[in-house]
Amino acid sequence: MVFSTSPTRDSLSFEDFLDLLSVFSDTATPDIKSHYAFRIFDFDDDGTLDREDLSQLVNCLTGEGEDTRLSASEMKQLIDNILEESD
């Protein structure tokens, strides 16, 4: 959990919960918002957003059902486009 200060990262304290909510506040700076957005989407917590993180993100957004799952070639094309646009 990105906002947890617990050693096992499996729970939120009240202060953690307030930190989580403050990121979504209108008063939070773009730097703070982008920092936490990056951490949220870095699924393997390795400090980079790589193809695997992006693939997992796409699956979270589209669902992993048979009717919504992207084919391997569609996923590759989408991730290539994301990486090209972000560079």
The predicted pLDDT at position 64 comes to 74
| 0.75 exceeded by pTM | no
pLDDT band for 75, please (50, 70, 90 cuts).
very high
40 in Cβ contact with 51 (< 8 Å): no
| DSSP string for residues in 22-49 | HHTSTTS-HHHHHHHHHHHH-TT-SSS-
Cα(68)–Cα(87) distance, rounded to whole angstroms?
28
The predicted pLDDT at position 73 comes to 95
**% the chain with pLDDT above 90:** 53
83 in Cβ contact with 48 (< 8 Å): no
Residue 9 reports pLDDT greater than 80: no
